[in-house]
Structure formats: structure tokens, C-alpha cells
Amino acid sequence: MNKLALDRHGWLKAHPNARRAPSPNYDARPAGDDAILLVMHNISLPPGQFGGIEIVDFFQNRLDYSAHPWLERLRGMTVSAHFLVRRDGCIVQFVSTCKRAWHAGVSTFEGRARCNDFSIGIEMEGTDCLPYAPAQYQALTGLLPALRARHPIRAARGHEHIAPGRKTDPGPFFDWERFGRDNQWLRRQLPPL
């Protein structure tokens, strides 16, 4: 199988395990900023349900709020991430890695606020209370070399680490040790365990 790679505009090149679903929820990074941080998240819509169209529709501002009572609380929100890794390992890209996706919100990394300015956001289809699928870790192992070849990423954190007390994802079931081992991160590049 061909490897994942980014084009010069920050989009994944055609690949059988990846697709584009462009989101309007992005803007330019501040001048001189590039992605140095990878931020891991989780999402399921409605909570605990996997495989539906709701996540893609949410990031594209097309969510049918009447499809489930819980979804109404998302009305008016405009958010995105660069990528979604589905339970089956398929990758959906919403925003060019050269642009600022709206995933981190109020956040801080190494004393610097506004992590969206200098990060790439990856949503794992999942919840804080269930293990992630092996196919998702395999997909990350395919995606991260492409990201690191294009951007000077030097650290990875969970949303919970850059927005403590406000966010809890990717949660206790995200296997940081496996993530680090599989993707050749140094211990200091990962959150404290």
C-alpha cells in the first residue's frame, strides 16, 4: 500500500485509507507560525455512538440537530480539527495542516496560549471510557510520518493536557505508551504519565 503523504498545500494526497471533507471552520495561522504541537482529542456523536455521519456534518456546519436530542446542545458551535481517525482506521481530513483548525479553544502549551496557532488537531473517534481500536493506532502510525515530514512537530499532548480542568480527552484509555513507541517519540515529547 502506498504511504500517506501531504501535498505542498497541507492536504493528504490520494490514498485508499483517507478522504477529504473540507470544513469552513478554519483560518490562517499567525505569520511565522507552523505546527510544532500535535493535539489528540476524542469525539463521538451522539456520545458513545460510532460510524455515523454526525462528526463530519458537525465539522462542516451541516449537522441535523433533530437527529438525536443530545445534538441540540451543539447548535451554533463552529469547530473543526485537521483530522478524524475513525474506529476502522479510515482518516478524514477537514482542514489543511497549513491552516489553523478550531480544535483546542482556550489552551496553553509550555507557557504559550492559543494552541490552535501552532498545532495540528487529531480527533480519535471514541470516548473517555472505552479503549481505542487497534486500527486507529495503526492509522496514526501511517499519518504521523507525513505530518512530521511537512511540519516541525516536536511534541504531542492530549486536549486534557493543554486545557486542564476544562477538557478530559483523549482520556485514560488513550495508550500514550503505544503511541510513543509506535511513532518513535522521545519520552520528553509526550505528556507525563
Phi and psi angles of residue 76, each rounded to the nearest 5 degrees, phi first: 90, -10
Q: Where are the alpha helices (DSSP H) in the chain?
A: 54-59, 134-150, 159-162, 176-182
Q: What residue has cell string 500517506? A: 4
13-24 core/surface letters (b: 16 or more CB in 10 A; e: else)? eebebbeeeebe
- Indicate which residues carry an active-site annotation: 123
Between the CA of residue 139 and those of 29, 89, 182, what are the distances in Å? 26, 5, 11
- Residue 171 CB burial class (10 angstroms; 0-12, 13-18, ≥19): buried
**Sign of torsion over alpha carbons 46, 79, 89, 13:** positive
